[in-house]
A and B are shown apart, each in its own frame.
Chain A
Amino acid sequence: MLTIGLTHYLVLAAALLCCGLYVMTTKRNAVGILIGAELVLNAAALNLVAFARYGAGGLDGQVATLFVIVLAAAEAAIAIAIFVNYYRVLATIDADRGDTLKG
């Protein structure tokens, strides 16, 4: 019978990290980029909890995860407010369409 151990969680988190990095680098839609960042944050949170459960860190990892969740929520709130503002001004949320600033 297969026992789920630290390695399984780490592999899952690494897979999430790769998905997140892929999404962040390929999406043009600003919300898509934000989702990519959230995936990476979740990978990190999973890592922290897994290390807290199987490693030497104890509760620290779980407390850190709570902070990560709160930060992710705060970041999403600010980011979406900025996206709404961007949409009102430019009528798109395509990050590539903002090309006034360059050089």
Chain B
Amino acid sequence: MLADVNAWLPPLGDLRLFAPELVLVGTIAAVLLVPLVAGRNPLLAGLIAMAGTVLALVATGGLAPRVADGPQGAFAAPGYAAALLADRFSVFFKLLLFAFLVLVIWLWLTGAAWRVTRPVRVGAIGGPEFFVLLLTSALGMLLMVGSLNLVVLLVAIETASLPSYALVASDRRSRMGAEAALKYVTFGAASAAIMVYGISLLFGRFGTLDLGAIATHLAAHPGTADTAFWIGLAAFAAGVLFKIAAVPMHLWCPDVFEGAPVEITTWLSVASKAAGLGLLLRVVTVLGPAPLHVEVATPLAWGVGVVAALTCTVGNLAALRQESVKRTLAYSSIAHAGYMMMAAAITLSPTAGGGGPGFTAVVAYLMVYVVMNLGAFGVTALVVWQTGSDHLSSFTALGRRAPWLAVPMAVCLFSLVGLPPLGGFTAKWYLLVALGKGAVAQPWLWILVAVAVINTALSLYYYVRIIRQMFLVENDALPAVPAPLGGVALVTGCAIVVLLLGTLWFNPLGERATILSERLFGLATTAERSQLAMVAPAADSASRAESPLTGAGVSG
């Protein structure tokens, strides 16, 4: 066994499946090394990061046809399931993350170019280290959605988390940044430690670190879903819920989002949550829906449902009394994570006819959420750069002082509420339809429908408060707010897309999301996963025989 492992080398083809990650790693190296030749230039580092990300986005697009026929396992040592997976699910999330990363770097570049011409009021962040950390956290998030191996997932979550802690403190003179980073790192260390303990329990119970193998084992021996399994799974979930910022692991989120530089808040509010949600969906898809798993899926569905309802309600209630716009948006992002987790609960309901509508809802919601959240944070960033504060009073009379910022902000905020004819309404519509369809088979889902509707009404108050401050409160003494053209283009683009998603793209979004979710999850069932686990080592040994180097190792 030991000799066999020693002799094994991954086939070269496996590396091609991870071209996006490799491009990103190359970019990280370039960002670090180029300053040795060209000198320390923040703008240059930003441009290299941007170019590398665009290249990685293209590489991900090129990966799509390769995984069109089904999931591809990679790095499967003999006798083991694949350590990494490339499938439509991970390709979708990678495209989303890379596209978002491009926009965040664009936002940063806009701000950096703008600051050169302005008196600096907010601590400037930038430099090669900044982009190394940003890209490394992106790398971790990519890996989070591309594996079922518990150790790989652990490494991925930590790769995403550790640079994020440092990014929050990247403005080293900021008192709020230092405090936010301290809270983030202590919370993160605690939840990661608990997650590792959960992994050790799962490993002890099943003798494997592969979630697919655990699911297969559970299907074959229903009695193994015992206390040790549930404690292990709950402890593992602590780490995942930390990334999503779901109740009860949400306490870090508002402090970190308020204290971090606004570009980093933008990045974390979408990317960290999207990756955590992707991980959660993958875990529940593997453990849940197969018919043999009722005794696992039902408690799991209840667990996810209760956490989703709590997350949503806590987020919205806490947002009601915030004075800081960043903090309000942080609580709003907690609430939106709750809505998306509701859809995850439907996918687990054993008799709800599979997860189809639930997955469609998650995919549609994520696509809309990325755009409207970027718009809202983008405007906040532009206001913070000029006024030096994100307090509600900085937004006073913005409708007069900077209509080109106030109008996109209003569109994005109304969309976050979920009012028609905006994208947020489309997302909520698909969510409620999916919940309703699920509730026909599982009456307890009506509770989630009620929670979602009540929360939407609650959230109206604090979003509209910002809009009221921008348009109805007048103060003639305040000067106009100039803004860089690139930033205005970004937020206006977001507002236009949000508007289109609510009107012309209403049906296309649903159709696209349905196609995507069918493709994403059609092959991700437990049966096919375990089949993949069986096939992968065999396929690997075939390719190993072709390679003289590894072939010799095996015979020796």
Knowing A101-B176, A101-B179 touch, does A78 contact B185 (C-beta < 8 A)? yes
B253-261, B357-365, B505-513: which lies at the interface: B253-261
Residue of B190, B194, B200 near A48 (CB, 8 A) is B200
Secondary structure of the A contact surface, majority rule: helix
Q: Which residue of B lies closest to A52 (CB)?
A: B203
Q: Is the CB of A60 within 8 A of B165?
A: no
B155 at the binding interface (Cβ < 8 Å): yes
A11 at the binding interface (Cβ < 8 Å): no
Q: Is the CB of A33 within 8 A of B5?
A: no
Q: Mark A48-82, 1 if CB is under 8 A from B, else 0.
A: 10110001111111011001100100110011011
Knowing A57-B209, A86-B181 touch, does A51 contact B204 (C-beta < 8 A)? yes
Residue of A68, A74, A89 near B178 (CB, 8 A) is A89
Q: Is the CB of A33 within 8 A of B204?
A: no
Q: How far apart sit A78 and B140, CA to CA, in the bound complex (Å)?
A: 16
A19 at the binding interface (Cβ < 8 Å): no
* A/B interface sample: 8 pairs, CB < 8 A: A51-B207, A57-B208, A63-B151, A75-B158, A75-B188, A100-B176, A103-B322, A103-B324
Q: How far apart sit A48 and B197, CA to CA, in the bound complex (Å)?
A: 9
Interface residues of A (CB under 8 A from B): 10, 13, 17, 20, 24, 30, 33-34, 36-38, 40-41, 43-45, 47-48, 50-51, 55-61, 63-64, 67-68, 71, 74-75, 78-79, 81-83, 85-86, 88-90, 95, 98, 100-103
Q: Is the CB of B162 within 8 A of A82?
A: no
Residues of A within 8 A of B199 (CB): 44, 48, 64
Q: Which residue of B lies closest to A31 (CB)?
A: B186
Q: Which residue of B lies closest to A25 (CB)?
A: B190
Residue of A34, A38, A58, A86 near B179 (CB, 8 A) is A86
Q: Is the CB of A48 within 8 A of B203?
A: yes
Residues of B within 8 A of A30 (CB): 182, 186
Q: Which residue of B lies closest to A71 (CB)?
A: B158
Q: Is the CB of A78 within 8 A of B1?
A: no
Q: How far apart sit A50 and B155, CA to CA, in the bound complex (Å)?
A: 21
Q: How far apart sit A28 and B517, CA to CA, in the bound complex (Å)?
A: 46
Q: Is the CB of B151 within 8 A of A47?
A: no
Residues of A within 8 A of B174 (CB): 89
Secondary structure of the B contact surface, majority rule: helix
Residues of A within 8 A of B55 (CB): none
Residues of B within 8 A of A75 (CB): 158, 162, 185, 188-189, 192
Q: How far apart sit A43 and B201, CA to CA, in the bound complex (Å)?
A: 11
Residues of A within 8 A of B296 (CB): none
Interface size class of B (residues with CB under 8 A): 35 or more
Knowing A24-B190, A48-B200 touch, does A101 contact B258 (C-beta < 8 A)? yes
CB distance from B124 to the nearest CB of A (A): 17
Residues of A within 8 A of B182 (CB): 30, 82-83, 86, 95, 98
Q: How far apart sit A14 and B181, CA to CA, in the bound complex (Å)?
A: 30
Q: Is the CB of A58 within 8 A of B203?
A: no
CB distance from A49 to the nearest CB of B (A): 9
Which residues of B (140-187) have their CB < 8 Å from a CB of A? 150-151, 154-155, 158, 162, 165-166, 169, 172-176, 178-183, 185-186
Residue of B2, B166, B204, B207 near A82 (CB, 8 A) is B166
Q: Is the CB of A44 within 8 A of B200?
A: yes
Q: Is the CB of B200 within 8 A of A82?
A: no
CB distance from B36 to the nearest CB of A (A): 23
Q: Is the CB of B181 within 8 A of A34?
A: no
CB distance from B544 to the nearest CB of A (A): 19
Q: How far apart sit A40 and B258, CA to CA, in the bound complex (Å)?
A: 29
Q: Is the CB of A64 within 8 A of B5?
A: no
CB distance from B172 to the nearest CB of A (A): 6
Residues of B within 8 A of A36 (CB): 190
B193 at the binding interface (Cβ < 8 Å): yes
Interface centre among B193, B199, B255 (most CB of A within 10 A): B193
B196 at the binding interface (Cβ < 8 Å): yes
A44-B197, A56-B207, A103-B327 given; 13 more Cβ-contact pairs under 8 Å: A13-B200, A37-B186, A44-B199, A45-B196, A48-B199, A50-B204, A59-B5, A75-B158, A82-B169, A82-B181, A100-B175, A101-B176, A103-B324
Q: Is the CB of A64 within 8 A of B186?
A: no
Residues of A within 8 A of B201 (CB): 47
Ranked 10 nearest A-B pairs via Cβ:
A56-B207, A47-B200, A98-B179, A40-B193, A51-B204, A37-B189, A44-B196, A101-B255, A44-B197, A89-B178
Q: How far apart sit A36 and B197, CA to CA, in the bound complex (Å)?
A: 13
Residues of B within 8 A of A81 (CB): 166
Q: Is the CB of A78 within 8 A of B162?
A: yes
Q: Which residue of A lies closest to B198 (CB)?
A: A44
CB distance from B317 to the nearest CB of A (A): 12
Q: How far apart sit A66 and B173, CA to CA, in the bound complex (Å)?
A: 36
B118 at the binding interface (Cβ < 8 Å): no
Residues of A within 8 A of B318 (CB): 103
CB distance from A2 to the nearest CB of B (A): 22
Q: How far apart sit A44 and B541, CA to CA, in the bound complex (Å)?
A: 33
Q: Which residue of A lies closest to B327 (CB)?
A: A103
